[in-house]
Amino acid sequence: MFTRNVVSSIKTKIWGKDTGTADESRPASQRRHAASHAWLTEASEGLDYLRARTPYPSYLIKAMFAYHAAAFVNDSKPRYEAALDLGSGPGQLAFHFATKFDKVFARDPSESHIAMGRSLAMLAITEADELERVGLPATDGLKLDFDVGSASEPNIDGQVDSIVVANAFHCFDWSTPESTWDLWTTWSKLLRPNGTIFAIGLVPSVGPLTGPMAERTRPLRQLLMGASFDSRSPISQYYTHPQIRLGAAEFYSTAIMPWTLGDDSLTRAWHSESRGYFVFDFPRDLELPPGFNSPKSDEPLPAWMPEDVQKAVSVGNDAGNGFAYAKDPWRTTTPRKMAQWFRSLSGSTRYYKDHPEQKLRIGREDDMVARAIKGACEEGRIGYDDVLELHHSASLLMLRRSNRPYT
């Protein structure tokens, strides 16, 4: 059990201020009670958020760490001083990077997500087992630095060794050559030489994916994987960014690379040959991202690829694409639980804000999400509470800085 002074010290280290000293006009006991209540509320909201989200597959985390280590083959040892998680939310991925890096900056434009993240970082110190139950690794919460920031203004001092963006790459402003140039110049300055950058796309995929049940689960699989961009989806109107298909439909396979912008300084700052792109466990009965052809089976794995990625095949184009299959233990889920995930999407959150009458229907499982999922279940002849396999379909785009400083 931590004393009040120790808890206050932890808050100060994580949050940069002692929230127990806010509003000096109130008695100290009331201030402490208010601060504790706020922390518990934010931690509870953070745990609820993580319960509704799909955990990051272990092979995806291992692949990023292996690629990062391989980027320093000419150095004595890889650098793990600092990493930056952009669009971090409450830190679902930042916690994983904190197991490897000395400092992890988690930046998100949402103040509520940052508040959740700070409370979860404190929970990592006081109640680590609570985080393990929602798929987060045991780590030192003091390594995590949560603050409001954006892709072009991340609000950090100094440089980092790695930048990671999970399910948010498409939210950045890629709409003009100028905005795209601004993003890549910002990241070129932030990353130390030989530093790495990762863009992850992740969606849950219900199964079985093979056998007689594969066809019955297909309607639900299609609904969940196309939730944000299918024009028939009520939340698609909230994904109006010109580049939304970059993430929702293209899995970042068509992301604009820095060496294509006609800037010699940017071109020299990055290793174009280091670009890698892999899709993991994408259901064969759904359309593959653009740029993929019939895979070849005779291409070897990249040398840095972890052993538990069982096999990978090159697509045979010049973009460095590949298709990898990994045996990651699948979990179980139900359509009812997937409705909770659907409601946690940013588009759904905005939908319910604009349609409060729909939010009131959630408790009765009669809202737009429940009706859509029940419709897919009816088409596939499966029940709303039937136990299904939960797989992870993921994409991983990666590249690294050259060993030249960016000027």
40-98 per-position pLDDT tens digit: 677 777 677 777 677 788 888 989 999 999 887 666 678 999 999 999 988 889 999 99
- Element (H or E) spanning 6, and its range? helix 4-15
Question: Is residue 370 within 8 Å of 199, Cβ to Cβ?
Answer: no
**Mean pLDDT along residues 237-256:** 67
For the stretch 282-288, contacts whose Cβ atoms lie closer than 8 Å and that sit 24 or more positions apart, written own/partner, are: 282/205, 282/251, 282/323, 282/393, 282/395, 283/205, 283/207, 283/209, 283/221, 283/225, 283/391, 283/393, 284/209, 285/209, 285/214, 285/218, 285/221, 286/221, 286/222, 286/225, 288/323
Question: Is residue 155 within 8 Å of 107, Cβ to Cβ?
Answer: yes
Name residue 21's beta-bridge partners: none
- Give the whole-angstrom CA distance, residue 361 versus residue 350: 16
- Give the whole-angstrom CA distance, residue 123 versus residue 130: 8
Identify the band that residue 208 occupies on the pLDDT scale cut at 50, 70 and 90.
Answer: confident
- Give the whole-angstrom CA distance, residue 385 versus residue 22: 46
As a residue count, the chain comes to: 407
Q: Which residues contact 145 (CB under 8 A, 6 or more apart)?
A: 14, 103, 104, 105, 106, 156
Q: Which two tokens stand for residue 226?
A: 């196309």
- pLDDT tens digit string along 307-332? 777 655 544 334 456 667 666 666 78
Residue 371 has pLDDT above 60, yes or no: yes
Q: Would strands 82-86 and 388-401 be described as parallel, antiparallel, or unpaired? A: unpaired
CATH numbers and ranges of domains, the chain = 53-87+151-401 (3.40.50)
Residue 177, φ and ψ in degrees, nearest 5: -60, -35
In the 8-state DSSP scheme, what is residue 76? S
Nearest CA to 163 out of 57, 246, 75, 88 is that of: 88
Among all chains, which residue has been given the structure tokens 């434009």? 109
- Give the whole-angstrom CA distance, residue 220 versus residue 389: 12
Identify the band that residue 30 occupies on the pLDDT scale cut at 50, 70 and 90.
Answer: very low
- Give the whole-angstrom CA distance, residue 87 versus residue 199: 11
Percent of the chain with pLDDT over 90: 37
- pLDDT tens digit string along 69-85? 988 766 667 899 999 99
- Give the whole-angstrom CA distance, residue 302 versus residue 324: 11
**pTM (2 decimals)?**
0.80
Among 168-177, 198-207, 234-243, 349-358, name the one with the lowest average pLDDT. 234-243
- Give the whole-angstrom CA distance, residue 61 versus residue 102: 17
- pLDDT tens digit string along 107-127? 999 898 898 888 888 887 777
Angle at 70 between CA 67 and CA 72, to 5 degrees: 125
